């Protein structure tokens, strides 16, 4: 059997498309220590900082998303797509990969298209319960479509025979991350023994969640549990420094810009309140973490609400729509659950039942089949 020696990974914009690729890379490296990888993303996306920090060679190409209304803008995007595909071809020819795998986001369009035109085996990985625009566009050209929810198969229409349910590699990765009983004290100067709620938007933060979270802090300061609020880097930079200082010096509240080691931090959290991006949900279900989900209403076909409903219907999570969100509701929901260990335990079990925990192995097997 031919070994996997060189692969190109692509995907980005936000963390939800990047972390699955990185988790897969690490699993691949464990099976094939000599494997070499090139990551192709964009300069503007989070991948341009996250990926090089992992020591993975990174190349950027320029591409932006299709605007739904402005046709002139779309002409520019079409032109960019042609140039980007040409640039991607150049990178692919130079690197000579055995396979190219894309985890979603606009950048995958030109990269996977170029690879398939060069007759290199291709896989796209769809994390959501509703297929993204780029992945739908690529369905015709790629060899396999790896998915995380049964129900997304139909979105690929006549290409649905290429669909294989693999799950999201990030779930397997968080499960393999060792828990440290002292991460809350060491990293946040909080109490390792107290119940702790983690509030965050998605990889870029969410203004509505930040606002409701910040408004709840005066109340939470007086409670017997702890709150960590991760705002997203750019929102954090805009926060009033006096407010930050006031809360961050209290014993049970921490406001931070971004948590780099989420898989490790999650292990010490009792309840999560966050967006319902697909990669976050994979992490929550793998670990069996109870959650209150606030889907982003600003995504294609409202897919985050569908992602969230998959958990809500199984009793693994509760949901608040952003239109109903305010600090009082947040406080009420958190308080109802944090003081109810039986409900938390039920949610934990339900969440855990949903997790697919061998996604990397399934994807690696798919890669091996394709290159042989």
- Residues at the binding site for UDP-N-acetyl-alpha-D-glucosamine are 14-16, 128, 203, 259, 304
The minimum distance between CB 32 and ligand UD1, in angstroms, equals 24
Which of 8, 9, 10, 16 is the binder for ligand UD1 (CB under 6 A)?
Answer: 16
Binding mask 214-233 for ligand UD1 (x = CB under 6 A): ----------------x---
Alpha carbon separation from 160 to 147, 151, 152, 248, 370 (Å, rounded): 11, 11, 9, 50, 17
Residues 6+ apart with CB under 8 A from 229: 199, 200, 210, 213, 214, 217, 253, 254, 255, 256
Beta carbons of 170 and 360 less than 8 angstroms apart:
no
Q: Does 280 bind ligand UD1 (CB under 6 A)?
A: yes
Give, as one character, the DSSP assignment of residue 261: T
Residue (of 38, 139, 143) closest to 90 by Cα position? 38
- Nearer to ligand UD1 among residue 92 and residue 136 (C-beta): 136
Q: Which is nearer to ligand UD1, 4 or 205 (CB)?
A: 205
Could you count the other beta carbons within 10 Å of the beta carbon of residue 205? Answer: 20
| All residues at 6 or more sequence positions from 31 whose CB lies less than 8 Å from its CB, including other chains | 4, 364
Residue 184 interacts with ligand UD1 (CB under 6 A)?
Answer: no
The verdict on 45 binding ligand UD1 (CB under 6 A) reads no
Chain positions 69 to 108 lying near ligand UD1, rule: CB under 6 A, are 104
In terms of Cα–Cα distance, which of 30, 18, 88 is closest to 54? 18
10 lies in the site for ligand UD1, by CB under 6 A: no
Measure the CA–CA gap between 297 and 243, rounded to whole angstroms.
28
Span 319-348, contacts to ligand UD1 by CB under 6 A: none
127/147 with CB nearer ligand UD1 = 127
C-beta of 29: minimal distance to ligand UD1 in Å?
A: 19
Q: If residue 134 lies in a helix (H) or strand (E), which one and from where to where?
A: helix 133-138
Stretch that binds ligand UD1, among 83-91, 236-244, 285-293, 298-306 (CB under 6 A): 298-306
Q: Is 277 in the site for ligand UD1 (CB under 6 A)?
A: yes
Binding-site residues sit at 14-16, 128, 203, 259, 304
Rounded distance between C-alpha atoms, residue 41 and residue 58, angstroms: 7
Sheet with 317-319, side-by-side order of all strands:
253-256, 226-230, 196-200, 271-274, 291-293, 317-319
Alpha-carbon distance 336 to 340, whole Å?
7
The terminus-to-terminus CA distance of the chain in angstroms comes to: 7
For helices 71-95 and 108-117, give the axis angle rounded to 10 degrees: 50
CA dist., res. 173 & res. 283, Å (int) = 9
Q: Between 100 and 229, whose beta carbon lies closer to ligand UD1?
A: 229
Piece of the chain touching ligand UD1 by CB under 6 A; list 25-33, 198-206, 284-292, 349-357:
198-206
3-state secondary structure of 200: strand
The minimum distance between CB 187 and ligand UD1, in angstroms, equals 12
Residue with tokens 């309140």: 273
| Stretch near ligand UD1 under the rule CB under 6 A, chosen from 9-17, 238-246, 284-292, 345-353 | 9-17
CA 249 vs. chain centroid, Å, equals 31
232-261 residues in contact with ligand UD1 (CB under 6 A) are 258-259
Q: Does 296 bind ligand UD1 (CB under 6 A)?
A: yes
- Binder of ligand UD1 out of 283, 284, 360, 367 (CB under 6 A): 283
Query: Measured from the CB of residue 123, what is the shortest distance to ligand UD1 in angstroms?
Result: 15
Residue 170 C-beta: closest distance to ligand UD1, Å: 6
**Residue 121 touches ligand UD1, criterion: CB under 6 A:** no
Which residues lie near ligand UD1 (CB under 6 A)?
14-17, 19, 104, 127-128, 170, 200, 202-204, 230, 258-259, 262, 275, 277-280, 283, 296, 299, 303-304
């Amino acid at each position: 059997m031919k070994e996997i020696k060189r692969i190109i990974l692509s995907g980005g914009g936000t963390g939800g498309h990047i972390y699955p690729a990185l988790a897969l890379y690490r699993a691949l490296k464990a099976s094939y220590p000599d494997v070499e990888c090139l990551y192709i993303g964009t300069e503007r996306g989070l991948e341009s900082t996250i990926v090089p920090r992992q020591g993975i060679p990174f190349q950027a190409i320029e591409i932006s998303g299709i605007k739904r209304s402005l046709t002139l803008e779309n002409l520019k995007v079409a032109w960019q797509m042609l140039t980007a595909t040409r640039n991607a071809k150049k990178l692919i020819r130079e690197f000579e990969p055995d396979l190219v795998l894309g985890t979603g986001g606009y950048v995958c369009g030109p990269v996977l298209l170029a690879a398939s035109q060069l007759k290199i085996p291709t896989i796209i990985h769809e994390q959501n319960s509703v297929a993204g625009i780029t992945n739908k566009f690529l369905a015709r050209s790629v060899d396999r479509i790896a998915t995380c929810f049964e129900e997304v198969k139909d979105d690929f229409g006549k290409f649905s025979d290429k669909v294989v349910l693999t799950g999201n590699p990030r779930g397997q990765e968080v499960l393999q991350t060792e828990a440290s009983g002292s991460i809350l004290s060491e990293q946040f100067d909080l109490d390792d023994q107290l119940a702790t709620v983690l509030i965050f938007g998605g990889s870029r933060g969410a203004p509505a969640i930040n606002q409701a979270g910040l408004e709840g802090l005066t109340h939470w300061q007086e409670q017997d549990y702890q709150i960590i609020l991760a705002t997203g880097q750019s929102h954090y930079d805009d926060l009033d420094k006096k407010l930050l200082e006031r809360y961050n010096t209290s014993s049970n509240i921490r406001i931070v810009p971004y948590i780099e080691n989420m898989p490790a931090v999650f292990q010490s959290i009792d309840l999560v309140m966050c967006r319902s991006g697909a990669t976050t949900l994979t992490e929550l279900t793998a670990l069996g973490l109870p959650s209150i989900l606030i889907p982003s209403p600003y995504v294609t076909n409202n897919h985050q609400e569908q992602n969230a409903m998959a958990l809500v219907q199984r009793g693994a999570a509760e949901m608040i729509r952003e239109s109903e969100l305010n600090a009082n509701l947040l406080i009420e929901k958190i308080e109802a659950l944090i003081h109810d260990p039986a409900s938390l335990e039920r949610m934990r079990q339900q969440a855990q039942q949903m997790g697919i925990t061998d996604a990397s192995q399934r994807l690696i097997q798919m890669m091996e089949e394709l290159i042989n």
